[in-house]
Structure 1
Amino acid sequence: MKKLNRKNLGLETKPPIKILQFGEGNFLRAFIGYAFQELNKKVGFNAGIAVVQPIDRGLVKMLNDQDGLYTLFMKGVKKGEEIQEVELISNIVKAVDPYANFNDYLSLAKEPSLEFIISNTTEAGIAYVSSDTPDMQPPSSFPAKLTLLLHERFKHFNGEASKGLAIIPCELINYNSDTLKDIILKYIEDWKLGNDFKVWLLENSTFHNTLVDRIVPGYPKDDIEAYNAQLDYQDNLIVAAETFLLWVIEVDDALKAKLPFEKTGLDVKIVNDMQPYRTRKVRILNGAHTAMVPFSLLYGNKTVKQSVDNPFTGGFINKVVFNEIIDTLEMDKKELNDFADAVFDRFRNPFIVHNLSSIALNSISKFAVRVLPSLLEYVKIHNKVPTHLTYAFACLIRFYKGIWKGDTLPVQDSEDIVAKFSEIWKSNDSSEIAKSVLGIQDYWGEDLTKVKNLTEAVALALKEIEAHGIEQGFANYSHSILNLHSSNTVTN
């Protein structure tokens, strides 16, 4: 089997470096590498990527050993049809380890064709580290490294306006570029890098908040022989991902013209305000995940796919999303329904095993952010509690008892939350339990006992779950809750 390199594959001509990418891990290679490869293929974008290893240990040596080449396997389901695609990604033209060669890193600032900075250094990567100094080679934090590189570019090109960059972080924090910009400005101030540099950066570079969404399991070690059998070369950097890809970028008109993703067929949305898309993802995708986990585990499912394929649990989750969550969102309903359909295709993906226990971590805080806003908005709109979301809430509370039918449940949360529920569950009174949990403002941001009928509905669900289990309990609860729906919803 031949070695994977540019000479052996006839790819010795490299595109110019237009993109500097902080991070060489699985996600960026399956997401950014693929997106810009499609732009190169379908639009003639002719963009090469220079990759920077953001931490001391990484994959730069392996990338360089393969001349930046690697294979992306994409598998998924679209409208019930299984899809598999294989793509050799060839747009990484340079990979640099700043810990091994800091001058090589700084030289990237001098690339005349450079236009974009892209990063994914994990949520913890966009952070201010007070101990970082401008003489460190390199500083520890990503923002500090980037500040030095931007300053080097400013100096090398004598403050030329056209050499500013579009900075597009992909870390999964809200307002990621705004946060990054604030930290860079703090380093400029702390390190006394000068007002001229600050003005050049603010006037000639742009910062763009983003939302990224793609499941990337990464290197398929358990099935690597099957993957290798499909190739005629040896690839040590195979990466597996789902077929779904969503990238939302907040931009100005100038950047939209520079990134003609609309010509690729990829779901890259270049918009003035990404917050509605973030809300859509958090409420529908993440909300469905969080709502399903306790409910489905108590039913007896182990994976997300089992949950949506089962007639009872799948029907329940479908109504949570399409009848209750979507009803509370202000975006175009067709767009919301199309997005939700894609989410359920992702949930059914047979190529990705997504264990419910693995997404049970910190379910209380997740419910407060991802699910509770939909529940409360539904109450506000309809003047009644939502049947399925309220039952999911009761399942969450029951899940935190920690034991179900003699088995230990995978409750994973802070010690104080686990201890609090242990204390609450010493009671056998479902009404007392519901009132205690819903009254904890530190969990929910407000006293939920003031939402009329919610405490009663949760108590009813808890009672039915304990007496009859999840499926029969839901049937009994959904019948009985009709008596509550005619009541006023909120008391002042």
Structure 2
Amino acid sequence: MTEAYALWAIEGGEEVREVLSFHSVATGVVIRPDITLFRELKLRLLNGTHTLSYALAHLVGCTTVREALENEYLARFIHNLMLADLLPGIPYAVDEKVGQRFGLQVLDRFRNPYLEHRWMAIAMQGTMKMQMRNVPTLLHYYEQHQAVPHYMALGFAAYLLFMRNTASAPGVGHGEANGEPYTIIDDRAGYLADLWARLSPAELTTTVLRNTALWGSDLTRLPGFAECVSQYLAQLLEEGAPATLRAFFTKKSAAVNS
């Protein structure tokens, strides 16, 4: 038994194709001399969407990826984050139709009722994953569009709130959401715990975003990004994640209608 979604990208030429003869009947197996495209699609769309969604989903109260896709607003957030913000920001030449098709296949996988992919497992070492999977996409999005990617900004704000914790050991912290405690496994848990203890949310946002040791770049230099993340963080703190998510789409609908 297997899930419908399948991708096994193998780098190689004709010799590899001859040895792995099963590729001709396995539609999910791809053998190419260069598999960078498949690596980028998986890393930026599948993994990147996970990393920018786990905090918001957890704060809303969802335990698994499938559960989040059953929530009207989270489902819209995850869909639009992947296809409106992350796909255009992939730092590699990707045909839009190819990227859209891959993204829709991934969303089908997320909905698989037989998969219990827990958000807290995805959250492990979330800071490192954010740097590897999402920061290059964010930087390239700005190069291409010179505008704030709002789905990424909301996801980043939720990450900051998720990381509000009391550190108990190196790389281990304890947070609370919806009246329930949770354990954070992240090498930067202590760093974020210290910032939350002594800075305002706005100061914390600026301090974290400009930390080049975390991201490899000063993200406060991206026009409007720090301000947008700070606004979403303030809203999450004041109104809670469910209300913030509903308001996020209400405002977007109003902007489209106007």
Taking the TM superposition and a 5 Å limit, the aligned residue runs for 1:331-346 are 331-346=94-109
What is residue 407 of structure 1 aligned with on the other side?
180
1:7-64, CA deviations, whole angstroms, 9 ceiling, x for partnerless residues?
xxxxxxxxxxxxxxxxxxxxxxxxxxxxxxxxxxxxxxxxxxxxxxxxxxxxxxxxxx
Amino acid aligned to 1:293: Y
Q: Is structure 2 residue 194 aligned with structure 1 residue 431?
A: no
What is residue 458 of structure 1 aligned with on the other side?
229
Structure 2 CA distance for partners of 1:447 and 1:380, relative to 1, 3 Å: same
1:206-249, CA deviations, whole angstroms, 9 ceiling, x for partnerless residues?
xxxxxxxxxxxxxxxxxxxxxxxxxxxxxxxxxxxx23321111
Of 278, 288, 293, the match for 2:39: 278
Q: How many angstroms does 1:461 deviate by? A: 0.7
Structure 2 CA distance for partners of 1:406 and 1:427, relative to 1, 3 Å: farther
Q: Is structure 2 residue 212 aligned with structure 1 residue 441?
A: yes
Of 263, 267, 281, the match for 2:24: 263
What is residue 89 of structure 1 aligned with on the other side?
none
Q: Is structure 2 residue 134 aligned with structure 1 residue 362?
A: no
Counterpart-to-counterpart distance in 2, 1:264 and 1:379: 41
1:440-492, CA deviations, whole angstroms, 9 ceiling, x for partnerless residues?
21211112122221111111111111111123324556749x99xxxxxxxxx
Of 68, 83, 92, the match for 1:322: 83
Of 50, 53, 58, the match for 1:297: 58
Counterpart-to-counterpart distance in 2, 1:373 and 1:308: 26
Amino acid aligned to 1:283: R
What is residue 63 of structure 1 aligned with on the other side?
none
Taking the TM superposition and a 5 Å limit, the aligned residue runs for 1:34-433 are 73-74=1-2, 242-261=3-22, 263-329=24-90, 330-401=93-164, 402-414=175-187, 417-427=188-198, 429-433=200-204
Q: What is the root-mean-square deviation in Å for CA atoms of aligned residues?
A: 2.2
Does the CA-based 8 Å contact 1:464-1:474 persist in structure 2? no
Q: How many angstroms does 1:430 deviate by? A: 2.4
Counterpart-to-counterpart distance in 1, 2:215 and 2:4: 35
Does the CA-based 8 Å contact 1:375-1:390 persist in structure 2? no
Q: Which has the higher helix share?
A: 2
Q: How many angstroms does 1:277 deviate by? A: 1.0
Counterpart-to-counterpart distance in 1, 2:211 and 2:182: 23
Does the CA-based 8 Å contact 2:58-2:119 persist in structure 1? yes
Counterpart-to-counterpart distance in 1, 2:69 and 2:245: 17
Counterpart-to-counterpart distance in 2, 1:432 and 1:382: 27
Counterpart-to-counterpart distance in 1, 2:82 and 2:223: 23
Does the CA-based 8 Å contact 2:12-2:33 persist in structure 1? yes
| TM-score where L is the length of structure 2 | 0.86
Counterpart-to-counterpart distance in 1, 2:241 and 2:192: 20
Counterpart-to-counterpart distance in 1, 2:38 and 2:20: 19
Counterpart-to-counterpart distance in 1, 2:20 and 2:122: 34
In our comparison, the structure showing a higher alpha carbon Rg is: 1
What secondary structure, in the 3-state scheme, does the structure 2 residue paired with 1:313 have? helix
What is residue 135 of structure 1 aligned with on the other side?
none
How many pairs are equivalent?
Answer: 241
Q: Highest relative contact order (Cα 8 Å, sep 6+), 1 or 2?
A: 2
Structure 2 CA distance for partners of 1:456 and 1:427, relative to 1, 3 Å: farther
What secondary structure, in the 3-state scheme, does the structure 2 residue paired with 1:409 have? strand
Q: How many angstroms does 1:316 deviate by? A: 0.5
| TM-score where L is the length of structure 1 | 0.46
Amino acid aligned to 1:380: E
Structure 2 CA distance for partners of 1:365 and 1:379, relative to 1, 3 Å: same
Counterpart-to-counterpart distance in 2, 1:291 and 1:410: 18
Q: How many angstroms does 1:382 deviate by? A: 0.9
Any stretches of 5+ residues in structure 1 without a counterpart?
A: 1-72, 75-241, 484-492
Q: How many angstroms does 1:273 deviate by? A: 0.8
Q: How many angstroms does 1:262 deviate by? A: 5.3
Does the CA-based 8 Å contact 2:56-2:241 persist in structure 1? yes
Any stretches of 5+ residues in structure 2 without a counterpart?
A: 165-174
Counterpart-to-counterpart distance in 2, 1:333 and 1:353: 30
Q: How many angstroms does 1:427 deviate by? A: 4.1
Does the CA-based 8 Å contact 2:158-2:233 persist in structure 1? yes
Does the CA-based 8 Å contact 1:250-1:272 persist in structure 2? yes
Does the CA-based 8 Å contact 2:46-2:103 persist in structure 1? yes
The sequence identity of aligned pairs, in percent, is 27
What secondary structure, in the 3-state scheme, does the structure 1 residue paired with 2:34 have? coil
What secondary structure, in the 3-state scheme, does the structure 2 residue paired with 1:426 have? helix
Counterpart-to-counterpart distance in 2, 1:333 and 1:323: 11
Counterpart-to-counterpart distance in 2, 1:434 and 1:373: 19
